[in-house]
Amino acid sequence: MESKMNSRRDFIKKTTIGAAALSFGGILPGLSARGYANIVGANERIRVAMMGVNARGLALANNFASQPNCEIVYICDVDSRAAEKCMGQVAGKQNSRPKAEPDIRRLLEKQDFDALVVATPDHWHAPAAIMASQAGKHVYLEKPASHNPHEGELLIAAQKKHGNVIQMGNQRRSWPNVAQAIGELHGGVIGKPYFAKTWYTNNRASIGVGKEMTVPEWLDYELWQGPAPRRALKDNLIHYNWHWFWHWGTGEALNNGTHMVDLARWGLQVDYPTKVTSAGGRYRYQDDWQTPDTQTINLEFADKSMITWEGRSCNGTPIEGSTVGVIFYGEEGALQIDGGNAYNVYDLKGKLVKEVKNDLTIDARNLTNPSQALDAIHIQNFFDGIKSGQKLASDIESGHISTLLVQLGNIAQRTGGFLETDPSNGHILNNREARKLWSREYEKGWEPKV
């Protein structure tokens, strides 16, 4: 059995299949992804387990199952209803039905899959990815990379120790026109860019005041909590509202800000800041929501450049004509990327001098699957990293830095509004209270270790 597994893994590493052809439905004209999968041998497919499939994870499962060089073999979810729904949908897209294994610990003991896709609540992201790395699995990790900065550093250490492939799911790094826009920016289309403004707006409703409830039979709440210290279940927590509680989530800043701050950092070619400020709060409703619904984060860098992020969870009025985006200001003009695979270039008077339009319709406010076809390119890049060592669009070191920028914004928000940071590693300087939030407490026995 071990010999067969080693042969299969060696074959996967040596096999290269064109990402563009596979991403959009097969190599032969008129052949669907499922039809092509009938031709592609089972040993040529990357076998995947999905962890967390209620919302975004369900969309990812459908996308991975649609890739002809992939087979989903396990579904790992603590909600038996979500697992059953996902298994049914996946079975309709591939030639086999995946098995359910709700406990990540038992799942990672299995030898018959290659990669774990993590789309759980944020408090599980880094711990699951570290456990998978230790088990010899590759990882596709939805953003953010971690719940707190220390976890991100542990994750980098785990990848270096075990040598596996970890791709973060900030998919815009793989979108062709977005990459082209960043290339033009680096090529000087607006001169030297020195300021990037990013934003996200929505019209989220109140989550109310939760009441303690009995754990339903379809939910393993013990496993849902996993690394987080135990709290009673309330009726306004699962499945989405955990985003707005510091204990499990990271707020709008990491939920949506990570994507655009990542593009801003990529465009400005910066890593760690020197100063971070944040202002905001829970302004719209009086309820259990803890993280800001209105927030601005400012990040200053040593090369005289700056990134700002504005988040408005409860007022969806667009900024610069879009609900989500980034605009770069430079010596000779501006370049704007909205939520889709498109961009505009302006001169210093605001005149449009170049417009590159979307190839596909994208709904930036879709909570689960705004851009399936484009995201398939990111998935194929992950597969190529496994099979042939191709450079990842978003390796875990890059993903950690972009995640850390917005984490620092949240830490500033929670500890007085201002941080000084070390530009070599992003560590917080001269602020003992803020440094306490660099890590977190864990449930005994669940502490992530490398």
Which tens digits make up the pLDDT trace of 173-193? Answer: 999 999 999 999 999 999 999
> How many angstroms separate the CA atoms of 186 and 241, rounded?
39
Give the residue extent of every domain in the chain. Answer: 2-171+379-388, 174-210+219-362+396-438
Q: How much is the pLDDT for 261?
A: 98
- Model pLDDT for residues 245-275, shown as the tens digit of each residue: 999 999 999 999 999 999 999 999 999 999 9
Distance CA 100, CA 389 (A): 30
Q: Give the pLDDT confidence score for residue 363 in this predicted structure.
A: 57
- Please name the residues in contact with 216: beta carbons below 8 A apart, sequence gap of 6 or more: none
Where would I find the H helices in 359-431?
372-388, 396-414
Q: What length is written for the chain?
A: 450
- Please state, in angstroms and rounded to a whole number, the distance separating the CA atoms of residues 438 and 450: 17
Residues in the chain predicted with pLDDT less than 50, given as ranges, are 1-40, 367-368
Residue from 116, 169, 175, 173 nearest 144 by CA: 169
Q: 429 in helix, strand or coil? A: strand
pLDDT of residue 41: 52
pLDDT at 4: 41
Spatial distance between the Cα atoms of 319 and 306, rounded to a whole number of angstroms: 18
Q: What is the pLDDT of residue 361?
A: 63
pLDDT at residue number 22: 38
Task: Output the pLDDT for position 305.
Answer: 98
Q: Which listed CATH number (3.40.190.10, 3.40.50.720, 2.30.30.100, 3.40.50.300) goes with 2-171+379-388?
A: 3.40.50.720
Instruction: Tell me what pLDDT residue 364 has.
Output: 53
pLDDT, residue 221, reads: 98
Q: What is the pLDDT of residue 78?
A: 98
Q: Please measure the distance between the N-terminal and C-terminal CA atoms of the chain and give it in whole angstroms.
A: 28
Specify whether the CB–CB gap between 167 and 392 falls below 8 A: yes
| The pair of three-digit structure tokens given for residue 27, joined into one six-digit string | 């190599």
The pLDDT score that the predictor gives to residue 44 is: 83
Task: Say if residue 211 is exposed, middle or buried (CB neighbours under 10 Å; 0-12, 13-18, 19+).
Answer: exposed
Could you tell me if 133 and 123 are in contact, meaning their C-beta atoms sit under 8 angstroms apart? no
Alpha helices in 206-308 (DSSP H): 221-225, 251-252, 258-268
Task: Compute φ and ψ for 200, nearest 5 degrees.
Answer: -155, 135
pLDDT given for residue 111 in this prediction: 96
CATH code for the domain defined by 174-210+219-362+396-438: 3.30.360.10
Distance CA 179, CA 300 (A): 24
The dihedral over CA atoms of 307, 310, 311, 314, expressed in degrees to the nearest 10, equals -170
What does the DSSP 8-state code read for residue 124?
A: H
